[in-house]
A = this chain, B = another copy of it.
C-alpha cells in the first residue's frame, strides 16, 4: 500500500498515478451481482450467452467498486482519504471473467475553496483498463482534498 502522504498543496495538474492490479473471476462477478445487480447476464453464464452481453459480464457497479478499492489501496495516496462528490461515469467495455483491472488517474483541475481555506475540489480522470488495454470504466470524479494542516510537515 502506498504511503498516504498527499495533500492539496502537493497536487498539480497533470500529476498521474497508477494502481496495482486486481483479477476478477466468474465467482466474484456472480457474488456481487447476487447482492446488488441480480440480472441473468451477471449471475448465469449460460443465460448470459443469449443476452445483450453475449456472455457473463460484471455489473458496472462491481467494476466501479473494484476501481475504488484499487484507488484506496494503491492508486491515489491522499492523506485524508478519497472523498468523492460524484462525476461523469461510463463503461465503454464490459468487464469479463479473467480481466485484470488497473486504474490510472490524472489530475485535471484544482480549485481551492473560497469559503473553506482548508480544502479544495480536484477533478481527476480515472481510467480502469484490463490487461488488453480496453477501457472498462471512465470516470471524471470531483474529489474534496484537504490542505496540509498548519504546522504539519510532509512525511516522505
Contacts and interface: CB of A to CB of B under 8 A. Distances in A.
Contacts of A146: 52
Nearest to A78: B39
Interface in A78-95: 80-91
A144 interface: yes
Contacts of A72: 37-39
A31 to B, nearest CB: 10
A interface SS class:
mixed
Interface residues of A, number: 35
Interface string A36-59: 111111000000000110000001
A35 interface: yes
A113 interface: no
Interface of A: 32, 35-41, 51-52, 59-61, 64-66, 68-69, 72-73, 80-91, 138, 144, 146
20 contacts: A32-B65, A36-B65, A36-B68, A37-B65, A37-B69, A37-B72, A38-B69, A38-B72, A39-B72, A39-B82, A51-B80, A52-B144, A59-B68, A60-B84, A61-B68, A65-B65, A86-B91, A88-B88, A88-B89, A89-B89
